[in-house]
């Protein structure tokens, strides 16, 4: 198991034990607030090519500036080599929040990447910036062929969808192949969306969320527009939404194809059942008392949760009565 840590460490967990030595070769990160080492994802053909992808907040030349970068290297089980940035996004800003960034390879073999708007809300509606977007890329970081805004002088060719705030979950439906994403909103604004090419998801023009603080002022009086996509589901109050999966294993047969999303402020995991057309048929929460940063399904069919705290850890969800040793790392 590979686990990223905010200060810029990539860690290995074997059989529930944390290797004390971090993986060598990780790029230097801007580890401020929400910045740091973010996502880790192996190439679909990792067994043949050993390619590993990382997203991280890349420091700029000016003090306190950073953007989100996508790096790729080769991992031999101990160290990373041949590491290089294959995409440094046009999303520079001061401060340390709203970097995104999740990765997912699609059934089409292409790489999808989420980006926050770095608290510059107007970027989400501007096609000249990567901020507040979901990108579609080749596995070398170049724009994927057939992207919806390719060839336009006023748009970044990597953009697949726009109008996002800070997407924190990304997963493909196991039977329909649709791309789903969840989005960390302001107060009352966490969303779950089905992502379609070229579509506008509204932020900050359309939102149910409110400003932080005791007054909770409206960000927009508009909660719906015909030319913008409605979320499939809203959380109000927000749960501080984080990573997500569609469960496809056999350990929990009654949960197959259901969505699991983490909650940071909610200290829980939410389980959501949908029809293939996106209709909600049921939801419940597993309250854990921990800030859940990410949700993953292991090759063993269990569900693993990254705990966002100091010290952090990894939890494993098992069916009641399962006779296995607990897996955790601190």
Give residue limits of the domains in the chain. 2-238
Helices (H), the chain: 46-49
| Predicted local distance difference test score (pLDDT) of residue 327 | 42
| Predicted local distance difference test score (pLDDT) of residue 214 | 86
| Predicted local distance difference test score (pLDDT) of residue 213 | 87
Pairing label, strands 2-5, 9-14 = antiparallel
| Predicted local distance difference test score (pLDDT) of residue 330 | 30
Residue positions counted in the chain = 330
- Which tokens sit at 205? 């023009």
Cβ(89)–Cβ(120) under 8 Å?
no
Report the CATH superfamily, name and number, of domain 2-238.
Answer: TolB, C-terminal domain (2.120.10.30)
Nearby residues of 189 by Cβ (< 8 Å), 6 or more positions away: 165, 207, 208, 209, 210, 219, 234, 236, 238
- Which tokens sit at 71? 């790096």
| Predicted local distance difference test score (pLDDT) of residue 324 | 53
| Predicted local distance difference test score (pLDDT) of residue 191 | 97
What does each of the 330 residues of the chain score in pLDDT, given as a tens digit? 999 999 999 999 999 999 999 999 999 999 999 999 999 999 999 999 999 999 999 999 999 999 999 999 999 999 999 999 999 999 999 999 999 999 999 999 999 999 999 999 999 999 999 999 999 999 999 999 999 999 999 999 999 999 999 999 999 999 999 999 999 999 999 999 999 999 999 999 999 999 998 889 999 999 999 999 999 999 999 999 999 999 999 999 999 999 999 999 999 999 999 988 789 999 999 999 999 999 999 999 999 999 998 889 999 999 987 655 444 333
| Predicted local distance difference test score (pLDDT) of residue 278 | 82
The backbone torsions φ and ψ at residue 255, rounded to the nearest 5 degrees and listed phi first, read: -105, 5
Using CA atoms, how far apart are residues 159 and 243, in angstroms rounded to an integer?
A: 21
Cβ(161)–Cβ(195) under 8 Å?
yes
Using CA atoms, how far apart are residues 327 and 330, in angstroms rounded to an integer?
A: 11
Using CA atoms, how far apart are residues 124 and 101, in angstroms rounded to an integer?
A: 15
| Predicted local distance difference test score (pLDDT) of residue 310 | 87
Nearby residues of 30 by Cβ (< 8 Å), 6 or more positions away: 36, 56, 57, 58, 59, 66, 96
The candidate with the shortest Cα–Cα distance to 39, out of 208, 189, 201, 244, is 244
* Catalytic-labelled residue, pool 98, 164, 184, 290: 98
- Which tokens sit at 200? 């506008």
130 is catalytic: no
Task: Tell me what the pLDDT averaged over the chain comes to.
Answer: 95
What b-and-e string marks burial along 185-213, b requiring 16 or more CB atoms within 10 Å of the CB?
A: bbbbbbbbbbbeeebbbbbbbbbbbbeee
Using CA atoms, how far apart are residues 189 and 99, in angstroms rounded to an integer?
A: 18
Whether residue 237 has a cis bond before it, omega within 30° of 0 = yes
pTM for the structure as a whole: 0.96
| Predicted local distance difference test score (pLDDT) of residue 322 | 63
The candidate with the shortest Cα–Cα distance to 295, out of 170, 116, 132, 110, is 170
Burial class (CB in 10 A: 0-12, 13-18, 19+), 167: buried
The backbone torsions φ and ψ at residue 254, rounded to the nearest 5 degrees and listed phi first, read: -80, -5
| Predicted local distance difference test score (pLDDT) of residue 276 | 80
| Predicted local distance difference test score (pLDDT) of residue 208 | 94
């Amino acid at each position: 198991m590979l686990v990223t840590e905010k200060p810029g460490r990539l860690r290995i967990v074997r059989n529930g034990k944390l290797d004390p030595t971090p993986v060598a070769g990780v790029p230097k990160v801007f580890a401020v607030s929400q910045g740091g080492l973010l996502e880790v994802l192996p190439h679909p053909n990792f067994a043949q090519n050993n390619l590993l992808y990382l997203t991280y907040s890349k420091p700029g030349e000016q003090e306190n500036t950073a953007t989100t970068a996508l790096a790729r290297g080769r991992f031999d089980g101990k160290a990373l080599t041949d590491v290089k940035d294959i995409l440094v996004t046009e999303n520079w800003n001061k401060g340390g929040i709203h970097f995104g960034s999740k990765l997912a390879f699609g059934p089409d073999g292409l790489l999808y990447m989420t980006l926050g708007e770095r608290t510059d809300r107007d970027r989400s509606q501007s096609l000249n910036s990567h901020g507040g977007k979901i990108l579609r890329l080749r596995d070398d970081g170049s724009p994927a062929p057939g992207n919806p805004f390719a060839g336009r002088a006023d748009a970044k060719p990597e953009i697949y969808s726009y109008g996002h705030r800070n997407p924190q979950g990304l997963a493909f439906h196991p039977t329909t192949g649709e791309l789903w994403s969840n989005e960390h909103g302001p107060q009352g604004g966490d969303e779950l969306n089905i992502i379609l090419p070229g579509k506008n998801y509204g932020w900050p023009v359309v939102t149910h969320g409110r400003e932080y603080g005791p007054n909770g002022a409206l960000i927009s009086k508009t909660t719906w527009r015909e030319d913008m996509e409605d979320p499939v589901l809203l959380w109000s109050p927000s749960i501080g939404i984080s990573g997500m999966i569609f469960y496809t294993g056999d350990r929990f047969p009654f949960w197959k194809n259901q969505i699991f999303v983490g909650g940071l402020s909610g200290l829980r995991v939410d389980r959501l059942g949908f029809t293939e057309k996106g209709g909600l048929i049921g939801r419940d929460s597993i309250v854990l008392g921990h800030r859940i940063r990410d949700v993953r399904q292991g090759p063993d069919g269990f569900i693993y949760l990254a705990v966002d705290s100091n010290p952090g850890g990894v939890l494993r969800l098992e069916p009641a009565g399962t006779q296995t040793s607990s897996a955790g790392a601190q």
